[in-house]
Amino acid sequence: MTVEQTYPLHGKKLSLSPWLLIAAGLAAMYIPSFVDLFHGVWGTERNAHGPIVLAVACCYMYVRIRQLREEGLIERKPAPLAGGAMMCFGLLCFALGRSQTVLFMEAGSLVPILAGVVLLFFGVRTCKRLWFAFFFMLFMVPLPASVVDLLTQPLKIGVSYAAEHLLRVFDYPIARSGVILYMGQYQLLVADACAGLNSLFTLEALGLLYMNLVRHQSLLRNVTLALLIVPISFTANTVRVVVLALITYHLGDAAGQGFLHGFAGMLLFFVALGLIIAMDSLLRLIAVRYALWRGIAVPEAVPRARKPAAQERGALFAIGVPQAALMATGMVVAVAVAHLLVPREENVVKTAKFDSFVPHAFADWREVPSPYLQVSVDLDDGTGRNPDQPYDDVLSRTYVNSRGEQVMLALAYAGEQMQDVKIHSPEVCYVAQGFVLRDSTPMSLSTVGAGKPVSGRRFVARNNDRLEAVSYWMRIGDSFPDGGLAARIKIFREGMAGRISDGILVRASSLMRESGQESAAYALQQRFLLDLDAAMSKSNPGLLAPV
């Protein structure tokens, strides 16, 4: 049994000094973080909604606090244990996220820290009454790229399919391969920003904010509208892709990628908001007709709250300087800890471009021109690395042996493996370019001088008449992670040890005439990779596999 302690308000006067101390601590933590986010993921189309959600959440919290104060619903029943635990959790998330570039922890730590402040000074009930402001703020948090890649691919393919068939109805010359649309002489990639999970999250946040402001009394109506936001998001994304395709087709690629591209992004949210309001009006009409049919009262919005009790504003928000100073000190300590934990020791194996040292001929293999295009692994175009283009250098070649057997080689290297910029598995690239994957299995082979067997994966990819067997491995530092989560754990461990490791993707693939030739294709690729490693280990030991 617990006893809640209510602090008397009479005689207290508001002093801004404690609140300024807390504000200074928050500024020391999050101004550098938000500046980095603005120049990083928030500056990309994939997460451009982040600062907008943050601004709206802050405005909503301010309005909600004023509303609660006027209604007399802000209580002074501090919960020091819950508040202290929440505050410590937020500071820990910030220190780890900031030092190891775990962006969702760094940005998301603001939520438990603000919740901790409310709990420490006002208690659990007041914190519960601000729940939607904290929940809404979560939509600003950048999602891990591996999560986005995993969940967003079906959305992108679906939007591409819908846009293709919609434009075909109006007799436009359009074809599709995966998430790539071919319209006339133009090629359009349906990227995450056009049809991804982040836009779905943003529109879901927009719909939830709308419902919270309208404050419907019917739970069924609220749940139905929240679920309808998923198809609404799909429809709005399809409209955006169609508009961009039409702009590119009629006005050229420069127009499609310039100002009108951003305008299409604004159109996405206008269309979505219009559809949300339209669906809400439709649900309202259905509810009214149902009520008239059943002869019951029409459900109304939540009535206005009771009149506030007489409380002085100064007394309500008056807090002690020692508590505020302790909070601000904890925030500054978290900033210092994050700075100390930043990894600084770089482990770079490769210093020259692949073209300068990867042999054109080795063992029984020689490079030949190939009419077959390889699946891209994404190479930076000179504008700076980002989660979609994480590599410093890539190489794509085709080799043939004396028996006429061909193997396609792809190498991709990144000198710094960080949580926000890291190697991704080839499955993502193959699916994005229209391939259907099957028979994914682990592989292992012992290379020259390797301390342990190389671990990777194999799979078969099909796109129309093209059937391709693929073998690959990813090396980060001295290990071979299997998947995005394993890669994140490896990078985190290296970072906590103060090291920044490099990484390389090694991919070999060959075309098959028909199914059932996978074993022969994998055996051919294994011989090729062993010969390549033997040739490479003389000039660049440890590049393909740790020595």
> What is the distance between the alpha carbons of residues 232 and 279, in angstroms, rounded to a whole number?
9
Residue 136 and residue 204 in one domain: no
Q: What is the DSSP letter of 139?
A: G
Assigned domain for 37 exists: yes
Task: Please state whether beta strands 454-463 and 466-476 pair in parallel, antiparallel, or not at all (unpaired).
Answer: antiparallel
- How many beta carbons lie within 10 A of that of residue 455, not counting itself? 17
What is the structure's pLDDT at 286? Answer: 77
Across the beta sheet with 406-414, the strand order is: 361-362, 365-367, 393-400, 406-414, 503-512, 466-476, 454-463, 436-445
Task: Let me know: does 474 contact 423? Beta carbons within 8 Å.
Answer: yes
HSE at residue 62, side-chain half, CA atoms within 13 A, is 6
Q: Where is 171: in which H helix or E strand?
A: none
Containing structural domain, residue 324: 16-143+311-341
Task: Please state whether beta strands 466-476 and 180-183 pair in parallel, antiparallel, or not at all (unpaired).
Answer: unpaired
Assigned domain for 2 exists: no
> What is the distance between the alpha carbons of residues 6 and 121, in angstroms, rounded to a whole number?
11
Residue 495 and residue 369 in one domain: yes
What is the number of structural domains in the chain?
A: 3
Residue 32 and residue 173 in one domain: no
What is the structure's pLDDT at 193? Answer: 43
Residue 324 and residue 191 in one domain: no
Phi-psi region at 514: left, alpha or beta (left = phi > 0; alpha = psi -120 to 50): beta
What is the structure's pLDDT at 2? Answer: 42
What is the structure's pLDDT at 260? Answer: 52
Q: Where is 343: in which H helix or E strand?
A: none
Q: What's the alpha-carbon Rg for the chain, to the nearest Å?
A: 28
Token representation of residue 291 = 């009520």
Q: What is the DSSP letter of 389?
A: B
Candidates 46, 127, 129, 194; catalytic one = 194
176 is catalytic: no
> What is the distance between the alpha carbons of residues 336 and 495, in angstroms, rounded to a whole number?
16
Residue 128 and residue 181 in one domain: no
* ∠ CA 32-261-205, rounded to 5°: 55
Nearest to 521 by CA among 538, 509, 505, 530: 509
Residue 37 and residue 131 in one domain: yes
What is the structure's pLDDT at 460? Answer: 92
> What is the distance between the alpha carbons of residues 25 and 327, in angstroms, rounded to a whole number?
8
Distance in Å from the first CA to the final CA of the chain: 61
Q: What is the DSSP letter of 6?
A: P
- In the chain, what's the furthest Cα-to-Cα distance? 94
Assigned domain for 132 exists: yes
Token representation of residue 526 = 């294994």
Residue 168 and residue 99 in one domain: no
Residue 421 and residue 442 in one domain: yes
> What is the distance between the alpha carbons of residues 143 and 356, in angstroms, rounded to a whole number?
37
Assigned domain for 302 exists: no
Residue 490 pairs with which residues in a beta bridge?
none
Please provide the DSSP assignment of 453-477 as one string. Answer: -EEEEEEEEEETTEEEEEEEEEEET
Please provide the DSSP assignment of 172-205 as one string. Answer: --EEEETTEEEETTEEEE--HHHHSHHHHHHHHH
> What is the distance between the alpha carbons of residues 417 and 491, in angstroms, rounded to a whole number?
7
- How many beta carbons lie within 10 A of that of residue 153, not counting itself? 20
Assigned domain for 9 exists: no
Residue 349 and residue 466 in one domain: yes
Residue 500 pairs with which residues in a beta bridge?
346
Candidates 240, 457, 488, 527; catalytic one = 240
- How many beta carbons lie within 10 A of that of residue 251, not counting itself? 12
Assigned domain for 545 exists: no
Residue 95 and residue 173 in one domain: no
Interacting residues of 68 by C-beta distance below 8 A, sequence separation 6+: 74, 126, 129, 130
Per-residue pLDDT 10s for the chain (547 aa) are 444 454 444 445 556 788 889 999 999 999 999 998 888 778 776 677 788 788 888 888 888 888 888 777 787 888 889 999 999 999 999 999 999 888 889 999 999 999 999 999 888 998 888 888 888 888 888 877 666 666 666 777 788 888 888 888 888 888 877 667 888 777 776 654 444 445 566 666 777 777 677 666 566 777 777 777 778 777 877 887 888 788 887 777 666 565 555 555 556 666 666 777 787 778 777 777 766 776 665 555 444 544 444 444 555 666 678 888 899 999 999 999 999 988 887 777 777 888 888 899 998 999 998 777 787 776 443 334 444 567 888 889 999 999 999 999 999 888 877 776 677 788 877 876 778 888 889 988 876 655 678 888 999 998 878 899 999 988 888 888 887 778 888 888 888 888 888 888 999 999 998 888 889 999 999 999 988 988 888 777 777 777 6
Nearest to 3 by CA among 81, 55, 64, 74: 81
240 is catalytic: yes
Task: Let me know: does 440 contact 457? Beta carbons within 8 Å.
Answer: yes
> What is the distance between the alpha carbons of residues 87 and 118, in angstroms, rounded to a whole number?
10
Residue 35 and residue 163 in one domain: no
Nearest to 237 by CA among 139, 163, 177, 165: 163
What is the structure's pLDDT at 265? Answer: 55
Assigned domain for 390 exists: yes
- How many beta carbons lie within 10 A of that of residue 527, not counting itself? 18
What is the structure's pLDDT at 310? Answer: 45
Helices of type H across 72-144: 80-99, 103-108, 110-121, 124-129, 131-137
Residue 381 and residue 330 in one domain: no
Task: Let me know: does 53 contact 61? Beta carbons within 8 Å.
Answer: no
- The residue written with tokens 């006429």 in the block is 404
Residue 441 pairs with which residues in a beta bridge?
458
Assigned domain for 504 exists: yes
- How many beta carbons lie within 10 A of that of residue 125, not counting itself? 13
Backbone torsions φ then ψ of 352, nearest 5 degrees: -125, 165
